Chain A
């Protein structure tokens, strides 16, 4: 059995019979044709049972032919590409497609979990809130794991997604969702008037319901009209037609989200191509022509395989030439449902009966019935006889009380149509109820968006074309396009009449939400227990929260709630609609930004040189920085770093510090400006001098620090920490543009313009003499500590030289234009060779700054004051500056604050760790005596032991005190001494020398 397509009609359909495709479902091989969906191919092969339900594991068949499908969910593909919960009704068939049913074990036809059906009387809505509470520990040990295993649907892949995704922007005047009659007509009108149009269609062919229901437009068959229209649109340069693309959401300012399934119709994406692409479409106007969704009627056994929406049955028969059954019964409460009887007869199928809930049917249909030789039963279905094998017999409660039975192997159901009100409701607009069609229609749509056609409740073909055409023309007009829109496509309107019927009372489970197994009695129970708000109903029963977002269940659910609580449907209201309109792969939202491409990478000017030296790099924000330069034979990072530190302290070394933020501050008021943003004065700084500055936030807490030099009367060169570079620039621009507009000052980031190197160590001057123009005086007198000026370098380029020191050694920082950065590194190696110059990384930099007691990121943690850092004296009392006032608040000047202090283990062999807490000696650690913590640590080659900085209560008054470093996380607890934070050369002689 299998590959014979027993239910494929011999002719017709939009499938390519010359292109047979083989596929596998649950391990069995079948064949279908190009143009099939997985669902239509399964129908063609007579497969009725396709899945098991969420809670009761009931056998389920295909209910719909679109993205509203609640039942026919499969695991598509395998291995790393396995996609759980894929709707068979939208999955395009391709050669070799592999799919498996889900939520069953061991097999679809024999599912052990279907025993749940025996417990159905207990497993009612919300049952789990009422039990599993005793004994307490059992919930996590037993109950919950069991529930988790049983719940869920398909299995996601357990390894990294091998496919690529990307994201793109598109701009247009009018974006149109849907390419049915309304959408195509809208595109025609907008396109003809000269508008830039984007037409999104989630299907892989254009036409919407025309593909299944046909009709006559402008005297042409629907197919001919679609072809003609698409040809006309394709000829317009500014009209873009995007098939396999769903407009899923609307965001502020006319931004729309759309997902294009670029290559999901292939086994794997071709080389260099993406699987899916996320579109952000910026449009002046949007026409929602997303159509309407046929809704079920809730009756006992309505989830039996073989029960199918009437319109879906037409889609399978007309579009795919695949018939779900041979002898069909139809249950309808409206005129439209009858089309399925017409279709069945036209396709040479048997119609067993039409059960029409309305008191009467049109004469045309009467005669159809007599021609087709089937009865028209007035009444409602009270039960369906059949199991996983599908529908066998249908019981009908006739109006007036009598009963009837109908033998059929398929049941088409039409409860009327619900306009697709998702997109129009995503800005919390609430749809309004229209009595004549017994359905909600869009209301309160986001600015610039209108619905047209059946999405707007216009169910006739003529009306769809008219509304679409007018909406398209109006949208183009609003966007300022006024070309000639030509003539409107015309078709007849077929009458639509409906007598609402939501639920047929009767014995047996009647399902409202088939995927979540929510029954009519669950809705009644929720009402009984006080969950009467629709939002409570949804949350208590999980109605409408499944992967179909309740497209086929929400309205029926609230209609039943309305009935039992004695309210009208509009009074009961709808839940809030949430994007996306269809589920969208998370990978598509990430696009290119995953793995190494998650964020951009910044490289220093000497990066590639450092890489050649075998440097180990560390991520610092977006930067890659050389962390240390290992040498052959060194056993670990500590050995390398210690070597680098010793080399600097005894000779000379250099380090690329280009990652510091660098800002040109220009203008006559530059000094006055800096006076206001720094706590200390800069207007008084002499040209050719540098000064360390500290910035506060307006709340008095330290924001950033750095060295700023005055290069000219009206030009300062400001540096920030690496971490805050961008934020400080933004802050300074705020001060300049918003707080102090009266100052004449200009700011430019020059972070990328300059390659900057720190050169440090007693032999620094010797090295510089080799590379700096001999004419330059680098002596202590000629270039004193904190001096800053431009110098020439041998070979003709100019550099900026700053005599500043982070290491505590005699040191300079030198900057050259960035494209010389790599040459600078090489030349420093050449110039320094006689002095054993050593490149050092951020670790050695950190060691030396801790030895020197300089604060950095771990101390500037956004909660410390200048006083905490021991820099309180820098706060000028002669001027106003940002943060001055709030820094004076009582708790910020309390003598009991945690302040920066040096810390070293009393046992010199001990390793000190950041994050250890400080507890007074001899006390039991507790909230009451947690006096601070270790912020930064290093192994100090100078002191030959681990040392650190910490923030400790009244630390500076307690120098010499022995306290406990308490580190339960790492199972450590040891004595440390609080000491001066400057471990190395406290009087600073070396850096001045």
Chain B
């Protein structure tokens, strides 16, 4: 049903008794043209684009728990397209453009809020690296501004400019960056995909693949029985290696824990998203008023979905070093998500070596901002059997060819990306 202030008002008169479920809670059919494993943002977005852009509507999204129960519902909600390397830059801008029309596409308010993403620099070397990146963005038609300290003092007087171990010297600003309400993105895609006939099947865990004589994937085995499929796409951040292993694949991926934190709700204090350049800390303030912040991954392989104190302390040290006025603001909740860290810090969107199985994985801790773009190019790959041009470099064989996309220049050590 159509959502608007009018439908709300109408519903209010009937005490909101007539709302339908936001998405149909479907039961599995015997067969689908495409099965997407993973009812997170990427999986649901893929399904919606398959249905809306590529005319493939006989699609099922299989979710082992409740939709959005993975990283889609456990992130710091930042959206941006400020990447510096060929392969990334164009893709994330494609994604950003899709963010900018999401509400109208989906008839669901995901609260996309382009309040700006600011990366701070504290040395000449960092400034030069940001200049390189910012120019790459501009050459690709993406907005970017290099701000000096004077400009920042006006814009964000509360930053630690003078009393700091590593004083803020300036920053790279993308005004079109910002945040979006993570759960609403999941529900919005589910709502819109469901309206187009996509089956969203919760509490349906994939336990294996069915293959034909030639090894082609013909469907999946699940906790709710076998389901046939023309093609199977996996978008299971946090479980990529485990699902791939069911098809006998090893991936260039390690799973790590990334913690995130939210403070008590306070009146507006911090305007946009900012990242500390001399430590591990980034922060934004949600519409509800909580400071949503995080830092580096804990640094060891983990599926435990919780982290430890040293990183929590490290993050808060960064916060206090950058914004000393938050000392008395209280940290309300701490949680951890499983990050599938690829070996060069860049995702993999490709056909797998197994016929009929398609991979969307390795988003490290950057998956949320990619949600619409990832859905679009993965749908493109599934529908057309060839990479979308903006995802052409996300091939799996890039590691064999030596064509890594390594923004941080850390090499094959996931916990450093």
Contacts and interface: CB of A to CB of B under 8 A. Distances in A.
Interface string A528-570: 1111010110011010011101000000000000000000000
Contact of B22 (A531, A916, A930, A967): A531
A816 to B, nearest CB: 30
B411 A891 contact: no
B277 to A, nearest CB: 12
Contacts of B20: 529
Nearest to B412: A699
A129 B184 contact: yes
A585 interface: yes
Contact of B128 (A122, A257, A914, A925): A914
Interface in A950-982: 966-970
B210 interface: no
Interface in B270-288: 278-279, 285, 287-288
B410 interface: yes
B113 A596 contact: no
Contact of A579 (B129, B288, B329, B334): B334
Interface of A is mostly: loop
B386 interface: no
B171 to A, nearest CB: 12
Contact of B266 (A54, A153, A591, A969): A153
Nearest to A913: B131
Interface in B5-60: 5, 7-9, 12-13, 15-17, 19-23, 25
B138 A969 contact: yes
A133 B100 CA distance: 12
Interface string A919-935: 00000011100100101
B320 A585 contact: no
Interface stretch (B158-166, B219-227, B375-383): B158-166
Contact of B136 (A167, A594, A930): A930
A970 B104 contact: no
A384 B69 CA distance: 39
B363 interface: no
Given A155-B266, A542-B288, A547-B332, A969 B134 contact: yes
Contacts of A528: 16-17, 19, 21
Interface stretch (A10-18, A247-255, A325-333, A762-770): A247-255
A585 B330 contact: yes
A499 interface: no
B401 A889 contact: yes
Nearest to A536: B66
A862 B406 contact: yes
Given A133-B103, A163-B327, A917 B319 contact: no
Interface in B159-192: 160, 163-166, 181, 183-184, 187-188
A616 B3 CA distance: 62
Interface in B325-343: 325-335
Nearest to B133: A915
A84 B329 contact: yes
Contacts of A891: 398, 401-403
B365 interface: no
A618 B318 CA distance: 20
Interface string B129-141: 1111111101110
A153 B16 contact: no
A596 B266 contact: no
A583 B331 contact: yes
Interface stretch (B75-83, B231-239, B302-310, B352-360): B302-310
A215 interface: no
Given A144-B287, A525-B19, A587 B320 contact: yes
A789 B25 CA distance: 79
B374 interface: no
Given A147-B287, A890-B401, A578 B132 contact: no
Given A134-B4, A547-B264, A547-B332, A857 B131 contact: no
A608 interface: no
B103 to A, nearest CB: 4
Interface in B71-93: 73, 86, 89-90
B144 to A, nearest CB: 6
A187 B111 CA distance: 51
B123 interface: yes
Most buried by B among A133, A157, A597, A599: A133
Contacts of A580: 331-334
Nearest to B330: A583
Contacts of A131: 3-5, 8, 109
B135 A917 contact: yes
B82 to A, nearest CB: 12
Interface string B238-252: 000000000000000
Given A863-B406, A891-B403, A84 B264 contact: yes
Given A593-B317, A886-B402, A915-B130, 4 more contacts: A85-B266, A151-B265, A151-B287, A966-B139
29 contacts: A121-B15, A129-B188, A130-B3, A132-B5, A152-B288, A156-B267, A160-B327, A165-B327, A521-B15, A533-B65, A535-B73, A539-B183, A576-B335, A580-B331, A583-B264, A585-B327, A586-B316, A590-B321, A595-B160, A595-B164, A595-B324, A598-B164, A598-B317, A889-B400, A890-B402, A913-B131, A914-B128, A930-B139, A968-B139
Which 9 A-B pairs have CB atoms at the shortest separation, nearest pair first?
Answer: A862-B409, A915-B131, A161-B327, A889-B402, A152-B289, A587-B327, A530-B21, A589-B316, A583-B330
Interface of B: 3-5, 7-9, 12-13, 15-17, 19-23, 25, 65-66, 68-69, 73, 86, 89-90, 101, 103-104, 107-115, 122-123, 125, 127-136, 138-140, 144-146, 158, 160, 163-166, 181, 183-184, 187-188, 202, 263-269, 278-279, 285, 287-289, 304-306, 308-309, 312-313, 315-321, 324-335, 398, 400-404, 406, 408-412
Interface of A: 54, 81-85, 121-122, 124, 127-134, 136, 139-140, 144, 147-149, 151-161, 163, 165, 167, 249, 251-252, 255, 257, 278, 280, 426-428, 521, 525, 528-531, 533, 535-536, 539-540, 542, 545-547, 549, 576, 578-580, 583-587, 589-591, 593-599, 601, 618-619, 697-701, 857-858, 861-863, 886, 889-893, 913-917, 925-927, 930, 933, 935, 966-970
